Each structure stands twice: as C-alpha cells, then as structure tokens.
Amino acid sequence: MNDIKIYVQEPSGDKTPVDAPTDMGLSLMEVLKASGYPIAATCGGMALCATCHIEVLSDHELPPPSDDEGYMLDSLPAVTDNSRLSCQVRLTPELDELVVKLGAGD
Amino acid sequence: MNILSTDICIIGAGPVGLFAVFEAGLLKMRCHVVDALAQTGGQLSEIYPKKPIYDIPGFPEVLAGDLVKNLEKQIEPFKPTFTLGERVERFTRLDDGSFIVYTVAGTEISCKIIVIAAGLGSFEPRKPAIEHLALYEGKGVNYMILDPEHYRDKRVVIAGGGDSALDWTIFLANVAKEVTLVHRGTTFRGVPESAEKVQHLAEAGKIKLLLKSNVVGVSGEDKLEAVTISFNNEEDVVQETDYFIPLFGLTPKLGPLEDWDLELQDGAIVVNTFDYSTSIEGVYAIGDINTYPGKLKLILCGFHEAALMAQSAYKYLNPDKKFTLKYTTVNGVPTL
Ligand SMILES: Cc1cc2nc3c(=O)[nH]c(=O)nc-3n(C[C@H](O)[C@H](O)[C@H](O)COP(=O)(O)OP(=O)(O)OC[C@H]3O[C@@H](n4cnc5c(N)ncnc54)[C@H](O)[C@@H]3O)c2cc1C
Ligand code: FES
C-alpha cells in the first residue's frame, strides 16, 4: 500500500479524509481536484495562477517553496507563512496525516 | 460617450477572439474587439507570456507571447478595431435584430452579431480581504495605475510583493510626494534588478519600505485618509495617506456574463456544436468560455470553433447569398 491520508479542514471545522496515492507522482492539487474540491487549477499546475492555494495546518515539514512558487505566493493578498500552492506539493509518504485548508481560491 | 459600429463585436481579445477576426475577415465581415485587459492575448499575455506552447499545429514550439504577436499580424489586413481596458457589462437587442454592446466606461458598440470569446472570464484585480475596503474604491483605493500623473505630489501606500508592486514603487518614487511599499515577506523574488532598486531607494530615504507587514485597515470620512499597517502581526500603526494601491495581480472572473440570459453550465456557455451558436440568435460563444459534450479547453479547439462560427455568421447576415468555401491559397488574404 502506497496510500496516505490527507485531511481537508472544511469551513465548518470538520476534517474530511482524502486517500492519496504516493506512487503516481501526483501533486496535492491533483488529488484535491479529483476529490471534488473547487480548485480551478487554471494553469494546470505550473505555479502561475494561484487558484490551488492552500494553507498547511499540521506541523509537517514540507520541502520549501521553489522561487517560482515563492514569487507567486508573494504576490497574493491573503497568504500566511503556512500558505502553499498545492500543485507544487508532491505527495510522499512523509505527508501522511497532513491537514490542509483551502485558500481563497484566487 | 463613444459609439462605434461594426458587423461583429467580439468580447475577449484572447487567442480565440483574435483568430475570429481572421475567419470573419475572410468572409468580409468587420470586427471590433473589446477586452477588460489593456493588452490583447488573454491568458497567454496575462498568465504565461514567456512559456513555450507545443501543440499549435505547424509550430513545434512557440512562446505564448509570440503566438499573440503573430495572431495580431495575421489579422492586420482586416483592420480590426479595439476597445481595450474596458469590461463589457451587458448588451441589448434592437427591433431590427441588431445589438448594442455596453462597456463599463460607457462605450457603445452597435453590431449585427456578438461573438463571446471571454475565456475564463474577465481579468480582474485580486483584492485583499480588508474590512470596508470596497467603500473607498475610487475614493483613494485603486487596484490599477492607469495614469501615474494622478499621483503627483500625493502620498501613496502600495501593497504587494510581485513585480508590478516593485515597478510602480520605483516609478512613483519620482512622482508622488511620499511612497510606502508594504510587503508581507522579507525578500522579493521577482526581477532581481527591481528588488535591488527598491532597496536602494529605501536606503536613500526616497521611499519607505515596510517588510513583514500587512495593510489591515482603511479609514477616512468621505474618502481614504489613512491605512492601518500591522508589522510582524504585532504592532499596528496608522499611516495617513491619500492613496492605497494593492497590487496583487489579476485573476479571471466570470463577472457580468452570468446575467446575460445565456444557458450556462458550470460557468461556461452552452453552445450548439454545429456552429457554436448560443441560446440567443446572433450570439456565438467560442474558446474556453463555451461548453459542449467533449469540450477541450485548448487554443487549437478555439481556432476550429472560430472558423465554424464565421461561416454560420456569414449565412445569418447574408441569407440570400450563395456561398462556397474558398481556400486562402487561391486568392491570398483579401483585405477589407
Ligand atoms: C499556464 C497555462 C498554460 C497553457 N498551456 C496551453 C497549451 O500548451 N496549449 C493550449 O492549447 N492551451 C493552453 N492553455 C489554455 C489556453 O491558454 C486557453 O485555452 C486559451 O487562452 C483560451 O483562449 P480564449 O481566447 O478562449 O480565452 P482567454 O485567453 O481566456 O481570453 C479571454 C479574454 O476575454 C476577456 N474578457 C472576458 N470577459 C470579458 C468582459 N465581460 N468584457 C471584456 N473582456 C472580457 C478577458 O479579459 C480575456 O482577456 C494554457 C493555459 C494556461 C493558464
Ligand atoms: S494550479 Fe495554478 S498555481 Fe497551482
């Protein structure tokens, strides 16, 4: 089994589990989108549109953002230190039990 | 008020709207193109001008920005006219079946056919979530800098960490009385030269640079008089200013199109694949904005849709004329 569990914190505060495979080279954006979350992913995962913006709520250590991702995050209005572009987050076994919240969607 | 008249009014100057001018031009129909953006090219110019595209037939590789330039050159013989920097708000139909298209700035376009090539929607500025911000829009809060002279000898607070925030800070440093740049990060990851220039200006006291800071409040009687800036999420300071300009880039929003009485499905206009006509006669929808079974949001597909739309529009305008398809190789590209 190469699946991990990701939790999405809904606006109500409830956490919805999402099963995510780690052996298919998928990004978090792809899994969230496939699970029906309203992510436009206008740029298809190139760190160019920021519609896949999320906030990491658990204290997992993620690889730091690339310059492209950092630039995009820098130019957004509503970001925190835990903001990421989910298309740039590769799913790996280390991310099991990750908790995220969807961003403003812009 | 600006009143224009044309055969076809194209809403959206993305690649598909531009190519529609070509297909319409081959059939001697004149086009006027309107876009909310100040430049043509839609997503290609606004989101990925420097990225290579690999699936345009005949171009193994072409930069998005270059494709737009080529499209502009290709449609030149048909002398299209443009209204840029204005969003289309609505249209009405007259008794003779023709339309009037209205923009937000009061431009009116009288036309026989409307082609909606609005992509993912009209590009609009991203707005920070600051309470009461909307109250001051146009009264000290601007999301775009149209005329820098407007800010001469005024106090300006700019927020943002992208290239446009840096570029305008540098530019306004010589125009405005006082420029403050507020950025939530500690560094700038845009063009290094611009970031360096901003640092120099700050060290020389020409601008005020507030890092690890956010604008969290706006205040004033009838117009903006001050902003509240939170430093490091600890200390709030109130700074008097004439203008607050949040520059957080643009993102497409469906906007007014939702109220145009067209059949929509998941934010896209339902069309008949026979000719990409909509539920309103004389109104077509092509490119990313439309949907039908099997739809692919690709430039290639939008180009095909433009060709079929143009044939149908021609027949709609000229019901009595006999029509045969002519290759461009036979007579070259006609002019209007
Ligand atoms: C990062 C990225 C990479 C891509 N790569 C490819 C690729 O390799 N190959 C490919 O085929 N496709 C690619 N695409 C998709 C391609 O860009 C779109 O299919 C294409 O831009 C659609 O063109 P369009 O003319 O329909 O719409 P758009 O390019 O979206 O242009 C629509 C225009 O209409 C304007 N508009 C909308 N509403 C209004 C209004 N009410 N008033 C005034 N103006 C309005 C907008 O401001 C916009 O400028 C990519 C997209 C992105 C974001
Ligand atoms: S999908 Fe566009 S930035 Fe992630």
Q: What is the pLDDT of residues B75-129, one digit of tens each?
A: 999 999 999 999 999 999 999 999 999 999 999 999 999 999 999 999 999 999 9
Distance A29 CA to ligand 2 centre (A): 8
With a 6 Å cutoff on the Cβ, whether B43 touches ligand 1 is: yes
Residue B288 CA: which ligand 1 atom is closest?
26
The ipTM assigned to this model is: 0.85
Distance B46 CA to ligand 2 centre (A): 14
CA separation for the pair B252, B249 (Å, rounded): 10
Q: Which pLDDT score, from 0 to 100, does residue B142 have?
A: 95
Residues from B in contact with A at Cβ < 8 Å: 43, 47-48, 51, 120, 126-129, 159-165, 183-185, 188-190, 246, 248-249, 251-252
Choosing from B233, B248, B263, the residue where a domain stops is: B248
pLDDT band, residue B332 (cuts 50/70/90): confident
The CA-based angle B168-B169-B175, given to 5 degrees, is: 85
Full residue range of the structural domain in which residue B227 is found: 127-248
Choosing from B225, B248, B271, the residue where a domain stops is: B248
Is residue B323 located within the same domain as residue B295? yes
Long-range contacts (CB closer than 8 Å, 24 or more residues apart) made by B95-100: B97/B281, B97/B282, B99/B9, B99/B282, B99/B283
With a 6 Å cutoff on the Cβ, whether B85 touches ligand 1 is: no
A34 touches chain B (CB under 8 A): no
With a 6 Å cutoff on the Cβ, whether B119 touches ligand 1 is: yes
Q: Which pLDDT score, from 0 to 100, does residue A80 have?
A: 86
Is residue B116 located within the same domain as residue B164? no
Is residue B278 located within the same domain as residue B196? no
CATH of the domain at B216: 3.50.50.60
Is residue B256 located within the same domain as residue B243? no
Q: How many helices (H) and strands (E) does chain A have?
A: 2, 5
Three-state secondary structure readout of B63-110: EHHHHHHHHHHHHHHHCCEEEECCCEEEEEECCCCCEEEEECCCCEEE
Q: Which pLDDT score, from 0 to 100, does residue A105 have?
A: 55
CA separation for the pair A23, A3 (Å, rounded): 8
**Looking at CA atoms only, how far is residue B172 from chain A in angstroms?**
19
Residues of B in contact with A38 (CB under 8 A): none
CA separation for the pair B3, B145 (Å, rounded): 26
Q: Which pLDDT score, from 0 to 100, does residue B88 have?
A: 97
Residues of A in contact with B160 (CB under 8 A): 75
Is residue B159 located within the same domain as residue B209? yes
> B336 in a domain, yes or no?
no
CA-nearest residue to A65 within chain B is: B189
Query: B121 in helix, strand or coil?
Result: coil
B183:A76 CB<8 A: no
Q: Please give the DSSP secondary-structure letter assigned to residue B311.
A: H
CA separation for the pair B142, B128 (Å, rounded): 12
Is residue B75 located within the same domain as residue B113? yes
Among B248, B297, B299, most A C-beta atoms within 10 A, so best to mutate, is: B248
**Cβ–Cβ under 8 Å, residues B136 and B244:** yes
Q: Whose CA is nearest to atom 53 of ligand 1?
A: A43
Nearest partner of B50 among B38, B62, B35, B37, judged by Cα:
B62
CA separation for the pair B176, B163 (Å, rounded): 19
CA separation for the pair B231, B212 (Å, rounded): 6
Is residue B92 located within the same domain as residue B23? yes
Q: Was domain A3-102 assigned CATH 3.40.50.2300?
A: no
CA-nearest residue to A50 within chain B is: B251
**Cβ–Cβ under 8 Å, residues B270 and B284:** no
Q: Which pLDDT score, from 0 to 100, does residue B196 have?
A: 95
Is residue B117 located within the same domain as residue B258? yes
User: Which of the ligands is closest to the CA of residue B40?
Assistant: 1
Domain boundaries, chain A: 3-102
B127:A77 CB<8 A: yes
The CA-based angle B153-B156-B160, given to 5 degrees, is: 150
DSSP output for B150-190: GGTT-EEEEE-SSHHHHHHHHHHTTTSSEEEEE-SSSS--S
CA-nearest residue to A81 within chain B is: B185
A36 touches chain B (CB under 8 A): no
Mean pLDDT over residues B140-168, rounded? 94
Is residue B195 located within the same domain as residue B267? no
pLDDT band, residue B309 (cuts 50/70/90): very high
B48:A43 CB<8 A: yes
C-alpha distance from residue B330 to each of B18, B28, B262, B314, B327 (Å): 23, 16, 39, 20, 6
In the annotated binding site of B for FAD, the residues are 35, 43, 48, 88, 123, 288, 329
Those residues whose C-beta lies under 8 Å from the C-beta of residue B269, and which sit 6 or more positions away, are B116, B257, B262, B263, B278, B285, B289, B290, B291
- Type of residue at B152: R
Choosing from B204, B229, B248, the residue where a domain stops is: B248
> B159 in a domain, yes or no?
yes
pTM of the model: 0.91
Domain count, chain B: 2
Q: What is the pLDDT of residues B204-231, one digit of tens each?
A: 999 999 999 999 999 999 999 999 999 8
Is residue B166 located within the same domain as residue B266? no
Distance B93 CA to ligand 2 centre (A): 39
CA separation for the pair B266, B288 (Å, rounded): 12
Among A76, A79, A83, A87, most B C-beta atoms within 10 A, so best to mutate, is: A76
Is residue B210 located within the same domain as residue B162? yes
Give per-residue burial for B17-51: e unless 16+ CB within 10 Å, then b.
Answer: bbbbbbbbbbbebbbbbbbbbeebbbbbbbbbbee
CA separation for the pair A83, A41 (Å, rounded): 16
Of B47, B159, B183, the CB nearest to A43: B47
> B76 in a domain, yes or no?
yes
